[in-house]
Structure formats: C-alpha cells, structure tokens
Chain A
Amino acid sequence: EAGVTQSPTHLIKTRGQQATLRCSPISGHTSVYWYQQALGLGLQFLLWYDEGEERNRGNFPPRFSGRQFPNYSSELNVNALELEDSALYLCASSLGLYGEQFFGPGTRLTVL
C-alpha cells in the first residue's frame, strides 16, 4: 500500500511569491493534515481537511490556505512568502478523526 506522497520535494521561491504544495493521502484516508517544521523545531499544526472541508486551522496568518479535492488529495498555498516561511512542510493523512496520522516525506520550502 502506497504511503502519503508529497510534491515537490524541494521548492525555492523569493520573498513575495506564492508557493503551492501538494499531497496525496493513503488510499482510503479522508482526512489530510498540514504541519510546518522550521529548522530544529517541532511540528506546528497548520490545517486539517476532511471530506473536502477545512475543519480546523492552527495559529497561522490567512496567507496560509489550502483545499481538499474530491479524491481527498490536498493543496497548501502560501501567499506573499516571507523568509521565515522557510521550513519543511509535512502532510499527514488518517482514516477519519480517530485514526493515526501517517506522514509524507515533506516538501522543503526555501524562501530567498
């Protein structure tokens, strides 16, 4: 069974640009979560999508947004990029709210 996949692996942008990160959950999983992990720090919860709806979001500004598609894949968009947005962005999926969250390999975003 394929795990959570994310693309791209690496992404380099400049300040003020927009970044789009993509995630495909494990087959059958309906919930997708996004986390940010800045260098040397823990994971910070960003967003949770389930059945196409945003269910909860972390303490991040509105320029962090996303969506979930009918096939349960998800997209994270970061607008007006700032230097401090440089981080590893991790996507996880679960079989509903009560299931364990399984993580993808992440997208390394670098903002210059």
Chain B
Amino acid sequence: GQSLEQPSEVTAVEGAIVQINCTYQTSGFYGLSWYQQHDGGAPTFLSYNALDGLEETGRFSSFLSRSDSYGYLLLQELQMKDSASYFCAVRHLGSSNTGKLIFGQGTTLQVKP
C-alpha cells in the first residue's frame, strides 16, 4: 500500500525556522510536492522535488532523499501568515497510481508572536 507520514502539529515563533518532515512508502514514486492550505481554502502549490537535493523558493525550501524515502519542507523567517496546514504529496508514474497525488494527513503549523 501507500502511506505518507508527517507530524500533525508544529508550533514556532515569528522569525524562526521550522522543518516539516515527510516519509513515504509507495510504488511508482515520481516526485514529492508540498502544498499550503489555509482554513479549508484551496491548497496552494509550494514546491516540488523529483531529484535528490534541495530546492529553494524564497523563504521556502524543500529537500528530497529518494534512497531514504524522506523529504522535508523548510520555512525560514516565519511570519504570522504562515500559520496554515502543510501537506506533502507523492506524484506517481508507471503504476496503478499514475496521475494520482497521494497526500499526507497534513501538518498544522501555528506561528506565535
């Protein structure tokens, strides 16, 4: 089967750095995506890794290690508006999961003043 594990909640203070981990177990892995969702709104695409290593997009960075089936999202210089749910999602190819994004259960990030 497929599974993704990420922490349910993370709390940090404004200006700090936070890392949200994601481990996955799936067949037909193609890449790992990260999405942000505020209070039941539309998930917003943040970052994508298909190859091992770090991808940086402004204050957000994402890392992937395919050999360890592990990735993380790094948020720097936290702002109050970063309080939201963050989902990792696996993209699939070449299996019965082709086309699917399989999502983790989400990590609720609370940023405190």
Contacts and interface: CB of A to CB of B under 8 A. Distances in A.
Interface of A: 4, 31, 33, 35, 37, 41-45, 48, 50, 55-56, 58, 88, 90, 92, 97, 100-106, 108
The secondary structure that dominates the B interface is loop
B48 A45 contact: no
24 contacts: A35-B103, A42-B103, A42-B105, A43-B43, A43-B87, A43-B103, A44-B103, A45-B100, A45-B102, A56-B97, A56-B100, A58-B100, A88-B40, A92-B101, A97-B93, A100-B33, A101-B33, A101-B45, A103-B35, A103-B42, A103-B44, A103-B45, A106-B40, A106-B41
B36 to A, nearest CB: 11
Contacts of B99: 31, 33, 48, 50, 55-56, 97
Interface in B84-113: 87, 89, 93, 96-106
B87 A104 contact: no
A54 to B, nearest CB: 10
A103 B33 CA distance: 13
Contacts of B44: 103
Q: Looking at A31, A48, A101, which has the most chain B CB atoms within 10 Å of its CB?
A: A101
Contacts of B89: 43
Nearest to A91: B42
A55 B93 CA distance: 12
Nearest to B92: A56
A21 to B, nearest CB: 14
A56 B99 CA distance: 7
B98 A56 contact: yes
A103 B97 CA distance: 19
Contacts of B100: 45, 48, 56, 58
